[in-house]
Amino acid sequence: MNEPQPLFRALADPTRRDILLMLRTEDMTIAQVAENFDMTRAAVKKHLTVLSDGGLITVRAEGREKINTLNPSAFAPIKDWLSYFDAFWDDRLGDLKSAIEKDVQ
Amino acid sequence: MNEPQPLFRALADPTRRDILLMLRTEDMTIAQVAENFDMTRAAVKKHLTVLSDGGLITVRAEGREKINTLNPSAFAPIKDWLSYFDAFWDDRLGDLKSAIEKDVQ
DNA sequence: TAAACATGAAACCCTTTGGTATCACGTGAG
DNA sequence: CTCACGTGATACCAAAGGGTTTCATGTTTA
């Protein structure tokens, strides 16, 4: 449970990763985000939906505009997943240590 | 340069993420990996190719077998990319600090 | 109220992707 | 040498993805 799939999916596209980088410095409307890309507002809106599905952004209405805000805490599951491979490092270092010790004898 | 796209792409599929987790404990042939999934060996081979393109595994021939080995150092670019959002945290905390100080006056 | 504006949503198109089945090829064991 | 075995590669298929166009809806503003 707590499926990280929508999160990994959201990060798999370079346009979406660029959007996230943009949103670090300021919240933006859909139109503002779209200004920075050579594609239609509709296409950008689709990307924003995927980012929202992944929990990476939150959207709030402000009059007729929708303000998109970065939600950096959503990166946690990815960091957690990556940490599985930190343990791997420890194991390998352990193996190396054992091998060396065995070799010394 | 040093495009992380093949890396993000490789991690976007749950089957490929599971393969990586398997390879933490031991190197495996294609057939061995395929035993753990309900799909053909050809399909698994495709996933392994994507993982190799992303630099996440290395493959060596051993007789008529191909041994797939995890390459955990390949995760570095993802960690680097994620660190862009650690800086964001610092910025926001700075903003909060400024807001509080202003509020106190 | 009427018109401009920001967005939502659906239909459609082409490409990519995850999967299959099939056949060819190098390697190992009788 | 033969034949089974592990793999590589290709053609093929259905579904998903990224994009466009078009139209509908709610919100300002003149």
The pLDDT score that the predictor gives to residue A34 is 98
pLDDT at B100 over 80: no
CATH number (domain holding residue B40): 1.10.10.10
Among A103, A104, A16, which Cα is nearest to A68's?
Answer: A16
Are the C-beta atoms of B12 and A9 separated by less than 8 Å? yes
Q: Cα separation of A87 and B24, whole Å?
A: 9
Q: What is the pLDDT along chain A (105 residues), one digit of tens a residue?
A: 578 999 999 999 999 999 999 999 999 999 999 999 999 999 999 999 999 999 999 999 999 999 999 999 999 999 999 999 987 555 555 555 555 444 443
* Domain limits for position B66: 5-104
Q: Cα separation of B56 and B59, whole Å?
A: 10
The pLDDT score that the predictor gives to residue B2 is 72
CB contact under 8 A, B72 and A85: yes
* Count of structural domains within chain A: 1
The pLDDT score that the predictor gives to residue B43 is 98
Q: Cα separation of A83 and A6, whole Å?
A: 19
Cβ contacts (< 8 Å) between B81 and chain A: which residues? Answer: 17
Q: Does A20 touch chain B (CB under 8 A)?
A: yes
Cβ contacts (< 8 Å) between B79 and chain A: which residues? Answer: 82
Are the C-beta atoms of B48 and B19 separated by less than 8 Å? yes
